[in-house]
A = this chain, B = another copy of it.
Amino acid sequence: MTKARIVVTLKNGVLDPQGKAIQGALGHLGFEGVGEVRQGKVFDIELAGEDPAEAERRLADMCDKLLANTVIENYSITVE
């Protein structure tokens, strides 16, 4: 069993209204000096098999097909 974490973030230059809303909310709560906030997604996935390179290849395939919209999002994969 291999455990992995995938982090999907918006590409630079893609507007992030949710991040902007969080930035505004933090300001309203009294937090000062908050600059840009960008929100992304994280997936913790368990995979059968023990080969990290094979796991990473399959996870990249999952990102391309389902987990990330590669037009506007980047992903990074960390196999534990």
Contact = CB atoms under 8 A, between A and B. Distances in A.
Interface of A: 1, 7, 9, 19, 22, 25-26, 29, 31-49, 58, 61-62, 65-67
Contacts of A42: 7, 9, 39-42
State the oligomeric state as a number of copies. 2
11 contacts: A7-B42, A9-B44, A22-B43, A26-B66, A34-B45, A35-B45, A35-B47, A36-B45, A39-B43, A40-B41, A40-B43
Nearest to A31: B62
A44 B37 contact: yes
Contact of A43 (B37, B58, B62): B37
Contact of A46 (B29, B35, B65): B35
A35 B36 CA distance: 35
